[in-house]
Amino acid sequence: MENYIAMQMQTADRFLMLLKTRGPLTAAAVAQWLGITSEGARLQLQKLAAAGFIEAAAPTAKGVGRPVQTWQLTPAGNARFPDTHADLSIQLIQTIQQLMGPDGLDQVMTAREQAAAAHYLEQLEDRDDIAGRLERFAAIRSGEGFLAECQPDGDNYLFIENHCPIGSAARECQGICESELRIFQQVMQGMATVSRRQHIIGGDRRCVYEIVPVAVIV
């Protein structure tokens, strides 16, 4: 019985991870991604919906015929991907503001930004090509809970983070997100420019950074 429950949880996590990283999908698309039958996908999706982890997204019309039904995560489904030490992070931010004021918080954020950038650059120093550096950086960030990936986009790249494990802290202190962007820019300095195109805190499903190689800037 315990093995069965564990197997069911593993199956559920595969479905939730797929919807987390790929966004709303049809049952047929889920089946194709996971290599299972469409009927099996529909059955599991219905179970997850009954448990409150997913919900039907607004149907979308594609050509002639009935609208296509897709599935997306609910807040409960997103909560399966934790916000790392959320309460502690918020408490620390509030305590620093109370004891040191806004300027003190800015100093702490600057020190954290410098330390993080130095840490990443140390791990990336042997990757002197953009694709290789982004691939390694995505692996590092995924290890930190960001579910990161990198995709080519013509001559440029998209660096995608499907989850924000520091979301609660970022909502408490807006400077964190700007600091994160500056860290990305330091990591790619001299190789590419970095700008944010989508933002979880701004209401998007994921954070997306556009990476433009310096060599192709007109």
Predicted confidence at residue 217, as pLDDT, reads 45
Predicted confidence at residue 58, as pLDDT, reads 73
- In this structure, what token pair is assigned to residue 61? 């019309």
Q: pLDDT tens per residue, the chain (218 residues)? A: 334 334 445 778 899 999 999 999 999 999 999 999 999 999 999 999 998 898 988 776 665 667 788 999 888 888 888 777 677 788 888 898 888 888 988 999 999 999 999 999 999 999 999 999 999 999 999 999 999 999 999 999 999 999 999 998 898 888 899 999 999 999 999 999 999 999 999 999 999 999 999 965 44
| CA distance to 30, 44, 59, 122, per residue, from 14 (Å) | 10, 11, 23, 33
Q: Do strands 192-198 and 156-161 pair parallel, antiparallel, or not at all (unpaired)?
A: unpaired
* CATH, domain range 2-78: 1.10.10.10
Predicted confidence at residue 11, as pLDDT, reads 78
Enter the DSSP assignment of 216.
G
- Domain layout of the chain by residue ranges: 2-78, 86-216
Q: Catalogue the E-assigned strands of the chain.
A: 54-56, 71-73, 148-153, 156-161, 192-198, 207-213
| CA 218 and chain centroid, separation | 30
**Could you tell me which CATH class the domain 86-216 is placed in?**
alpha beta
- In this structure, what token pair is assigned to residue 4? 């069965």
**Is 210 in contact with 158 (CB distance < 8 Å)?**
yes
Other CB atoms within a 10 A radius of the CB of residue 27 amount to 20
* pTM score, whole prediction: 0.80
